[in-house]
Structure 1
């Protein structure tokens, strides 16, 4: 007979009897339910904390991987040291430079990597300087390279601070100066090449402007040269008469014979005409020399000399040369303007004004049935010489106004312009401390305004 309270057991099986919670005085079933509920809440909180901890660990691993990738990608050498100057962290660039692994560098003294005692002393001085509690400094040292070579490095030294703001070490970040020197050398070569190209463009544009004047200059030179040649032929005839008359005198001719020969050869007329012939030859020679010297100054490569220049004279020569060269039918209204002297290069300023006058003629001549015209004025305004050139052309299209001084921009047909004249002129004026602007006149035509600082006090 089995006991209902004790069920039978199988062989080898332990008897497990459910245990009822002990009955405590004053503790009922609801109290036990509260305890179980609190235990569930604590367990749920533990699970949530574990999940959050795993997420933070994942984020920490990502941050560490990000920092490691930054250190590996840095081309600058890096060494994070403690207060004793021992390396706690470094990067691949420093390992490659000194030929040691990261494990070998950790714990070693940064001063031991220096190539000389002076560099090591500078590192120790930085480590011992209390002033680096907040700010940084730059120190020039030489590292011992992998092959034993001395590598100059500029280290930027910054303090490492803990959570309480106390300095716990220094961070040294630097770049080998050899790389900087190579980069600087390449930059300097590129700058020199750019300067040479700019000078060549400037000179090419000047040659293009000079080429447009060849015909007019040839005509300009022909007049004084022809005048000199004519006077030379006259001098030759006069010299023959004088030689014949002096030969008669030295040959013992009588007084009557001398007077007769003097009247026959018109010696008195020859003697009266000689001074004017000489003056004419000198004037023609000087005029020819002036034209040639002007061409030489215009075509020569400028050497950045700055002298006092009469801007009004520059405008007159520019108008004269353009009219003689490519614009014989060009009505120019130029009253002369106020006296204005500026500091600059005569050749460059002449090139600028010639380009503006030539462009005015080209624009005005594009209108059929209209005689090309230009009105020029020169005034002194607020310590500046202001030259305004207004043509009677069609004006500048609104969409072209903001591009008129861009390099290689031109509205002329192919073969009629390079688009460099106004751009180079704009650059020359800026180098002279002035400004060049373009606009349309309300009554028609384009207006170019050139402003340059006066050389003396404005009155």
Structure 2
């Protein structure tokens, strides 16, 4: 702004023909005009400073954008870019300005998609998302997920397009890493499931061994009896083939007790087959329990699942424990018998352990089952000390346990909860009004 000349101490002489009053009025008008000019110049400088500040702000925003930005005119010529795009393509903003957008694209497919968007006569103001491949600084193809938004003039005529894109290479890499981590987590979960299952199986070894010992001992006793009978029958047949008289054969038969043998053979064979079948049933139950195939779904009667669980848990339970269970009508669900048995056995084992903590009274575990509204309800109740109120919300959390170190992994209830959920059901824990805890399994009933 030019300096304002100083006012004279003595006003100039008025021109001829103009009195002093008119001359003073002219000087005042000139001073007002000059003051207005100075004011306008100050405002102009302020507006210029604000405009420059706005431009710097816009440039800083564009430079800070991690997404690439391209502003094109109606013919696809680049008018504006940002630093992110320059870094990707390896060219400066000055080099890019005025060039064709299609020169930045790698592959005919990307060019065709970009031309289709640019040629759209009725675009929406929200834009259109397309996948483009930019030609990177090293000639490589850089995939970009771009949103193409039309740019309109004040008259409503389309004057260009704004493309904002995000390179998807990092996203795809992150997704692949996430997928790998998810697969590793699933594998770890399967290992934990198998480990907990084997831990449960280990707790039942003594009871199962005792259960197997009964039919096996029965079969062995019958086989030894059959071996003795076979020797006697062989001696009798040798006498028959040697031509002994009927009287001799009758005396020998009475001495060898052949009639008794013939009468006892059917029951011996039937008992042997029954013992072998019981052994096979126990082994098949163990195989079903230890199976880890989570995709096997078939018709399962929960009565049979509870029967096997009660049999095995009961063998290892204290002798004074009352384990109350009465099978009812078939309760059919669709699921994996081994996994459901693991859940029931886990709940039973926890109930047995809880009853051992009570100070007095006879320990008791009850198993109840009914159905309503297309759902089967299986409840395991005990008369132990119950669950602490502060633990009810965490009882199914992984690695949470109230048992002493070395007595529990904290995974049993968590895995059981997950198994029941995978079967489309729910597992809930609560305290009984009269004391003790209750765990309730709810599963969809299999339609007839």
TM-score (norm 1): 0.88
Aligned counterparts, 1:153-192, within 5 A: 153-192=144-183
Check whether the contact 2:394–2:400 (CA below 8 A) recurs between aligned residues: yes
- Does 2:37 correspond to 1:46? no
Question: Which has the higher mean CA deviation after the structures are superposed, 421-430 or 50-59?
Answer: 50-59
- Does 2:274 correspond to 1:283? yes
Give the corresponding residue for 1:220: 211
Check whether the contact 2:62–2:83 (CA below 8 A) recurs between aligned residues: no
Check whether the contact 2:14–2:23 (CA below 8 A) recurs between aligned residues: no
Secondary structure, counterpart of 2:392 in structure 1: helix
Give the corresponding residue for 1:387: 378
Q: How many residues align?
A: 440
The 3 A distance-change label for structure 1 pair 400 and 16 is closer
Equivalent of 1:246 in 226, 237, 244: 237
The 3 A distance-change label for structure 1 pair 117 and 376 is closer
Check whether the contact 1:332–1:375 (CA below 8 A) recurs between aligned residues: yes
Secondary structure, counterpart of 1:305 in structure 2: coil
Equivalent of 2:95 in 104, 126, 137: 104
Structure 1 Cα separation of the partners of residues 18 and 263 of structure 2? 159
Structure 1 Cα separation of the partners of residues 139 and 362 of structure 2? 81
How far off its partner does 1:369 sit?
2.4
RMSD: 2.8
Secondary structure, counterpart of 2:123 in structure 1: helix
Check whether the contact 2:63–2:84 (CA below 8 A) recurs between aligned residues: no
Aligned counterparts, 1:48-447, within 5 A: 49-50=43-44, 52-53=46-47, 56-57=50-51, 59-71=53-65, 74=66, 76-447=67-438
Structure 2 Cα separation of the partners of residues 133 and 438 of structure 1? 54
The 3 A distance-change label for structure 1 pair 248 and 453 is same
How far off its partner does 1:87 sit?
1.4
Structure 2 Cα separation of the partners of residues 110 and 51 of structure 1? 38
Check whether the contact 2:63–2:83 (CA below 8 A) recurs between aligned residues: no
Structure 1 Cα separation of the partners of residues 409 and 285 of structure 2? 24
Check whether the contact 1:85–1:109 (CA below 8 A) recurs between aligned residues: yes
Structure 2 Cα separation of the partners of residues 116 and 319 of structure 1? 68
Please list every run of 5 or more consecutive structure 2 residues that lacks an aligned counterpart in the other structure.
1-7
Please list every run of 5 or more consecutive structure 1 residues that lacks an aligned counterpart in the other structure.
1-14
Secondary structure, counterpart of 2:421 in structure 1: helix
Check whether the contact 1:334–1:376 (CA below 8 A) recurs between aligned residues: yes
Structure 1 Cα separation of the partners of residues 38 and 390 of structure 2? 73
Check whether the contact 1:388–1:450 (CA below 8 A) recurs between aligned residues: yes
Structure 1 Cα separation of the partners of residues 361 and 153 of structure 2? 84
Check whether the contact 1:408–1:420 (CA below 8 A) recurs between aligned residues: yes
